[in-house]
Structure formats: structure tokens, C-alpha cells
Structure 1
Amino acid sequence: MNQLQMHSRADHNIRILFWATLFGSVNFLEPILTLFYFERGLSEAGVLWMTLCWCMAVLIFEVPTGAFADRYGAKASFLLGSFVGMLSTAVLFFADSLLLFCLANVLSGMAVTFFSGAEEALIYESLKEEQREGEMSGVMGKIQSAIYFPAIAATLFGAFWARDLAEDQFRLLILLGLAAQAVRLLLVLRIANPQQEDSFRDNPFQHVKNGLYVIKKTPDLIKLFLNFTVVFIPSVAVFGKFEQPYLNMAGLPVEWLGVLYAAGSAVALLIARRLDWLTERFSRVTLMQVTGIATFLMVLTATFVQNSLAAALTVYFVLRISRTIRYPLFSHLANGYIPSGSRATTLSLLSIADSLFDLLIIGGVALITTLGVGAASYSSMTVIFGVCALIILLGNLAPVRVAKEETRLQ
């Protein structure tokens, strides 16, 4: 195969994944999702149970789906993931009980695992064929930016259309989301597996063994993972749940939340598309450290300053920008440690560890809140934010280093 063909295949996969990510990210229910759950009869506790079901599904299916991707290729993994994702959305159309919502979240978590790891592995191997691995963070930033296009439109249209919280409004939004996922299914049919990926078709258990070996022999990869994950979970999975009441308490009217979220998505889109510009001027390690510290400072600010709209808006935008920058950088740095052949499985094993941290951190914060620790002196939100800030500080203590070479398999 000549260089032009190789170049065409790499860019072809990047282009297809961008559009597949865009359509797969369409969720018109997002700006009113919690209200939708309440209207369908769920309580606050029910929403938490759903979240735990999603985390457990990711925990259970990460390694099997990662091994599936390494064994049968990213394209097959994406096809199955797209189909399962459509099933999850279809269940939402009829869901009116905790059991059905838990089922929808289990299917959603399972669908995510078919893309988790396999997407990064496909891009890295496609670039590696042309010795373009250095472009990984920029490419992942551009692909990640795809989620912001539908986010801008969905937050505005979804909140406006379902302003009455009526059942027919909910169902139309679900059907529109299902149509977008069908387009994603058609797009991933056009993925072309890299030659390097096609050459590794070992037994799935061998891929798991290889992945465990890489993690065991690469302590710097573990430290990088801790720096990313222990900062991400409390700042997004926990703090993000209370972002709307925090902004409202600071003085932002509810009707302006959709506009703010659209503006935040637009800023994140701009940053993601210009990530190459940042990495050309600052090292990836420096950017990881700066955004990690900024995340800590913003959550700490939210802990002590809850009645200033200016402070709340600053917290919102800095956290959104930091989140946008950190994932592509982590993806680039992590893939530098992982050898070809079992890349998707290794990344899936890391995602399993991520799910365990999800359960530990989210469950721990929920337990502290339930027990009323600190409730005598502070509001529940203040306690939650304070615990999150402490966890983020601990995550920043894990050092970040650039891999000198890939870990060699036995």
C-alpha cells in the first residue's frame, strides 16, 4: 500500500469517527434530563441507583468488549456498540419505572464500553501506520469537539421544546435522538481497520494478559491514570450533578441555564479544535498540571463562595475548559506507554479501574451526605464541594510523565 493510500485511510477513519461521535452525542433530553426522570416517577434516590447501574455495567463489560475489539477489530466493536446504544434509547421511550430506567442505563453503559478503548486504539494505530503518533492529542481533541456541535443545538432546542415537561414532548426528543444514533450506525459501517490492527488476532484472554502485564510493568501509566481520574470524577461526575443549583443559587435564572450551557459548549468546541496550538507552545505535562490545579481551585472557590454570580460563572467556564483539555492530553500520554496488539484491552482495563473509582468516590460522597457529616455547620452542597476539592487535590499529587518508549510485551 502506498503512502497516499495509508494517509487516506488514517484521515478517512478520523473523519468518520468525528461524524459518528457527533451523531452519537445527540441527546435532546440532556438539558432537562433530571426533570424528565422526575416526571416519569423517579425520585432522587432512583436517579442515584440508575447512575450506579451505569457504572456497574461499564465495570462488567469493559474487558470483554475491549478484548472483542482487539480480537475482531474496532469496526465490529463500533457496530455492536451503536446497536446496543439504540436499544438503550428505545427503552427510554417506554420507561416508567426504576427497573426499566436501570435497564436503559445498563444498556447505555454497555454501549459505551464497545467504543471505550477501541476508539483510541483505532486512531492511534491509524496514525502509527504513518508515524504520525505525535498528532494523537490534536486528533482526539478534534474528535472530542464533535460532541459540542450537537450540545449547543440540543441544549437550546431540547429545553425550549420540552418547556412544559409534557409526555409527547419527551417522546419526540427521544425519537430524534434515536434517529441520530441510526445515522451513527450507518457511519461506522465505513470504518477501515488499520493493517497493524488486523495483524493481531490473538485469543481474547491473551489480550487481557498482555494488558495486565503492561499496567503492572508501567507505574508511570498508573500515576498518569490516577492524576486524570481522581481529578475528573469529583469535578464532573459529582460536582457536575449540582452545577445547576449552584449557578441558580448564585443568581442565574433557570431560563438562562440553556444559554449558558450552549455558550460553554461553544467555548469548549473552540478549545478542542485549537488544542494543537496549545501543545505546540506548552508541554502536555505542563497543561495537565495547570488544568489539574485550576480544577482544584475552582471547586474550592465553589465551596466557600456560593452567592456571587461572577464567581459561579468563572468556576463554570474554567472547569469546562479544563475538562476539554485534559482528556485528549491523557489519551495521548497514556497511549505512548501501551504497545500495539492489546491496546484496546489495556485501555479497557484502565476504564475498569476508572469505574471502580466511580463507585468509590461517588458512593463515598453520597454516604457522607446521607450521614449528615458537617451538616450542623454547613449546607449539604458545601460539604459535597469541600469533599470534592480535597479528592481533586489528592489526584493532583500523582506525577505526570511522558513515556520514553512503549512497554515491551513478554
Structure 2
Amino acid sequence: MNAAARRIQRVYLTLLLGNTLAASFIWGINTLFLLDAGLTNFEAFAANAFFTAGMVIFEIPTGVVADILGRKASYLLGTITLAATTFLYWMLWVWHAPFIWWAVVSVLLGLGFTFFSGAVEAWLVDALTHTGYTGAMEAVFGRGLVVTGIAMFAGSVLGGVVAQVTNLGVPFLLRAAVLVLMLVFAAFVMRDLGFTPDRSRGPIAATRHVLTQSIDHGLRKKSVRYLILSAPFASGVGIYAFYALQPYLLELFGDPSAYAIAGLAAAVLSLAQIAGGILAPRIRVLFRRRTTTVIAASIGSVVVLIALGLISVFWVAVVLLVLWGFVFAVAEPVRQAYLNDMIPSKQRATVLSFDSLFASLGGVVIQPGLGRAADVWSYGTSLVIGGVVELIGVPLMLASRRQNELADTARSEAERD
């Protein structure tokens, strides 16, 4: 890797570190925070569903922003929006606001995250290509998972401890503060390399052109379409399980006020993510096709979720949580590399936003449904149902595999040597 590529990777990893650290301050206690504000289980997961609905609504427009105005502009807008809406979330908790306001602010939180999705990944791939990087993208995405795993561990543990010592609102204030720091950092170091925004058209015409091209290279391309259509099932179930495991672990532990234990769910997942990120490139070379890794990991996730729902022993649940996080971490860099290899640079951010949009759609429908199942039956039952729902995405991934894309068997120079 040359010096320019190393610099790009360092900036990318720093952005991931800061963003994940900020976000993870509340990951271990978010559900408890919402319940403490007076929401029911159904309302808490409905608030999360409104967040993902915001991502659905704004995913494509913000992806177009990244493809027209630039990836850096999109990142900065996202940081500003997310910092402001995080502070609003804290105010709603202070006021014990009615559910309607949680729904509104959750949608705006989704807007903030959509400025990130697609833009940072597209920035990385374009900039590395510009520098002449020829290594495996799985390795870069794997390092990203390691860094986010470290940040997730530190943030989730610290968030849980801070909430225990102070109250459930302070981690949200910490999150907003770190986002402001990341805004300053990105303003000085990010540069759009390997990508020139097309400003020759007016905003409406440019938006229409980018969307048309993105649909041609995205949903109309079978291999990409089937992969994107599989996203709602794994993502929707994954988002629900991540947040449901907070109160579920407390239930198994036997102390509903042990907020530090609630942070354990996110912390354990982060350690599994670090291991998966390190091993993903190594596991990838064991298989001729990238889709083999992704499909096997999805089936493994289904099995672990069902087992999590059936057991009632706290430490066994922790072990299963590690396995669940590991299979996700192994699959994600491989899936990212597979998808990016099938998308042209000019439409990359928008097509990646299509992928995020469909993943968010799963969260909109699946989260409140599984939350209702937890209210009526139990968290364990809802996890078993979630595992069955995730299984629906496997045939769609198999359909993408059957298109026999070159990206499915692509290897870097280092892997071929």
C-alpha cells in the first residue's frame, strides 16, 4: 500500500472510530432510556421504527447529495444533523414527552444517519482507486470493523457505566459532543479524491439523472437487486435483536437496574466484531465465491438467534451473543466488497443508499412487530421469530449468486500471488 492510500485509510478509520464511539455511548442503554421516559416496549421499538422510517424517506435524496455535491459535504451535513437531533432526544427524555414527539425526532435522527450511509464508503473506494490501491477491499473493510469494534466496546461500556453513575441521559450528551469534534476533524482532512461532482445540470435534472443511472446499475441489475432485496430481513431482525438484548440480558441476569450489564450486550458484540473483522479476509480466501461466506454467515445467524431465544441461562446467552456478532462481522466486509465491485463510481453513493434504504425498510416493519411479540409473549419468543424471519433472505442471496458475477469470484493481487 502506497503512502497516499495509507493516508486515505487512516482518515477512513478515524471517521469510523469517532462516529462509532459517539453512536455507541447510547447503544447499551437506548431501550432502557426510552422505557425510562415512559414508553412501553411497543412504543420504544416503534420509536426505533420511526428512526428507520426516516432512513427510508431520506436515504435516496441524501445519496444523491453525495453523488452531486460530494461525499465530504454529505458527511458534514450528517454530523451536524445527528448532533442536533441527539440533543433533542435528550430534551424529550427530560420532559417525558408524549410519543408523537419521539416519533418526529426519531425520523430526523434517521435523516442524520442517511447522510453518512453510502457517502463514507463511496469516498473510501473512490479515493483508494485514485491512489492506485490494488489490495483486497475485504482487508480494508475488515480493518474498519476492527476499529468500529474497539470504539463500540469502549463507547458501550463507558455509556453503561456513566449511566449507572449519573443517569440515562448523560451518554446522549457525550454523543453530541463527540459528533461536534468529528465535524471539525472532517472539515479539515476529508477531500473528494477520484470523484468529481457533476454540477453541469440543475439540481432537479441532476437528481433525476443520478437516480436513473443508479437504478440501471442497481435494481435493474439482477445480481445487485437480489442482494439488496435480501437486506431487509437480516437488517430488520439484526436491529431489533441488538436493542432487545439489552433488557433481555437484564432479565436473565435478574437485576433490571444493572445498566452496566446492559452495556455488556454492545460490548460483547464489539469484541466479536473485532475478531470477525480480523479474520474476514482470511476466511474469504477459503472459498471461491464471496456469496458462500455471506450465505453461510446468514444461516449461522438464524441458528444462533433461535438458540438465544430458547435458553434461559445468562452466561450461555453471552456466549451465543459472541457467536452472533462474529458471523455478522465475517460476512459484512465480504458483502461490502461484493456489492462495491458491481457498482460504477459515479453512482456508487446512491446505489449504496438503495441498499441502506431496503435494510431500513426491514427495520420499519420488523422492529415494532417483534417488539409487540415481546410484549405479548417474551423477548425469547421474539428472538426465535426473528430468526425465522431472517431466513427469508437466504433464497434471495442464492438468486444473486446464480448470476455468476465476476465480483463474486474477484481476488486482489495479493490473494492471487
Normalising by the residue count of structure 1, what TM-score does the alignment of the two structures yield?
A: 0.84
Structure 1 pair 308/94, CA: closer, same or farther in 2 (3 Å)? Answer: closer
Structure 1 pair 147/101, CA: closer, same or farther in 2 (3 Å)? Answer: farther
Counterpart residue number, 1:375: none
Q: CA deviation at 1:266?
A: 2.5
2-side partners of 1:291 and 1:381: how far apart?
23
1-side partners of 2:213 and 2:182: how far apart?
31
Per-residue Cα deviation, 1:167-192 (whole angstroms, up to 9, x for no partner) = xx445433322221112111222111
Structure 1 pair 129/112, CA: closer, same or farther in 2 (3 Å)? Answer: same
| 8 Å CA contact 2:236, 2:361 repeated in 1 | no
Q: Which amino acid aligns with 1:20?
A: L
2-side partners of 1:23 and 1:40: how far apart?
27
| 8 Å CA contact 1:72, 1:201 repeated in 2 | no
2-side partners of 1:331 and 1:200: how far apart?
28
Per-residue Cα deviation, 1:268-321 (whole angstroms, up to 9, x for no partner) = 223314433333334432221221111111122234x32244542332111111
Per-residue Cα deviation, 1:329-360 (whole angstroms, up to 9, x for no partner) = 21111111111211111111222222223223
Q: Give 1:248-267 correspondences, 5 Å limit.
A: 248-251=250-253, 254=258, 256-259=261-264, 261-267=266-272
Using the TM superposition, name which of 357-366 and 317-326 deviates more. Answer: 357-366
Does the residue aligned with 1:31 lie in a helix, a strand or coil?
A: coil
Counterpart residue number, 1:193: 192
1-side partners of 2:391 and 2:170: how far apart?
43
**Runs of 5+ unmatched residues, structure 2:** 409-417
| 8 Å CA contact 2:46, 2:368 repeated in 1 | no
Q: Give 1:112-151 correspondences, 5 Å limit.
A: 112-130=113-131, 132=133, 135-151=136-152
| 8 Å CA contact 1:67, 1:205 repeated in 2 | no
Counterpart residue number, 1:385: 383
| 8 Å CA contact 1:138, 1:276 repeated in 2 | yes
Mapped pair 1:327 → 2:332: yes
Q: Which amino acid aligns with 1:239?
A: A
2:90 paired residue among 93, 98, 101: 93
Q: CA deviation at 1:361?
A: 2.7
2-side partners of 1:93 and 1:340: how far apart?
39
Counterpart residue number, 1:205: 208
1-side partners of 2:40 and 2:252: how far apart?
25
Q: CA deviation at 1:196?
A: 3.5
Per-residue Cα deviation, 1:96-115 (whole angstroms, up to 9, x for no partner) = 21344334322221111111
Counterpart residue number, 1:376: none
Mapped pair 1:297 → 2:294: no
Q: Which amino acid aligns with 2:239?
A: A
2-side partners of 1:160 and 1:50: how far apart?
24
1-side partners of 2:200 and 2:140: how far apart?
26
Q: CA deviation at 1:159?
A: 2.1
**Runs of 5+ unmatched residues, structure 1:** 373-378
Q: Give 1:23-38 correspondences, 5 Å limit.
A: 23-25=18-20, 26=22, 27-38=24-35
| 8 Å CA contact 2:246, 2:262 repeated in 1 | yes
Q: Give 1:363-378 correspondences, 5 Å limit.
A: 363-366=368-371
Q: CA deviation at 1:260?
A: 5.8
Q: CA deviation at 1:134?
A: 5.1
2-side partners of 1:251 and 1:239: how far apart?
17
Mapped pair 1:336 → 2:341: yes
Counterpart residue number, 2:323: 318
Q: Which amino acid aligns with 2:406?
A: K
Q: CA deviation at 1:249?
A: 4.9
1:240 paired residue among 237, 242, 260: 242
Counterpart residue number, 1:67: 64
2:291 paired residue among 285, 290, 295: 285
2-side partners of 1:24 and 1:217: how far apart?
33
Per-residue Cα deviation, 1:111-160 (whole angstroms, up to 9, x for no partner) = 11111111221112122234546522221222233322232223332222
Normalising by the residue count of structure 2, what TM-score does the alignment of the two structures yield?
A: 0.83
Q: Give 1:26-65 correspondences, 5 Å limit.
A: 26=22, 27-65=24-62
Per-residue Cα deviation, 1:215-261 (whole angstroms, up to 9, x for no partner) = 24311112222444422321x12222332344345557645454564
Per-residue Cα deviation, 1:365-392 (whole angstroms, up to 9, x for no partner) = 456667x5xxxxxx43344233212222
Counterpart residue number, 2:413: none
Structure 1 pair 290/192, CA: closer, same or farther in 2 (3 Å)? Answer: same
Q: CA deviation at 1:404?
A: 2.0
Does the residue aligned with 2:346 lie in a helix, a strand or coil?
A: coil
Counterpart residue number, 2:105: 104
Counterpart residue number, 1:180: 178
Structure 1 pair 38/147, CA: closer, same or farther in 2 (3 Å)? Answer: same
| 8 Å CA contact 1:21, 1:184 repeated in 2 | no
- What is the Cα-based RMSD across aligned positions, in Å? 2.8
Structure 1 pair 157/120, CA: closer, same or farther in 2 (3 Å)? Answer: closer
| 8 Å CA contact 1:215, 1:221 repeated in 2 | yes
Counterpart residue number, 2:221: 218
Structure 1 pair 43/252, CA: closer, same or farther in 2 (3 Å)? Answer: closer
Structure 1 pair 329/215, CA: closer, same or farther in 2 (3 Å)? Answer: same
Does the residue aligned with 2:190 lie in a helix, a strand or coil?
A: coil
Q: Which amino acid aligns with 1:237?
A: I
Mapped pair 1:156 → 2:154: no
Does the residue aligned with 2:164 lie in a helix, a strand or coil?
A: coil
2-side partners of 1:299 and 1:171: how far apart?
30
| 8 Å CA contact 1:333, 1:403 repeated in 2 | no
Q: CA deviation at 1:54?
A: 0.7
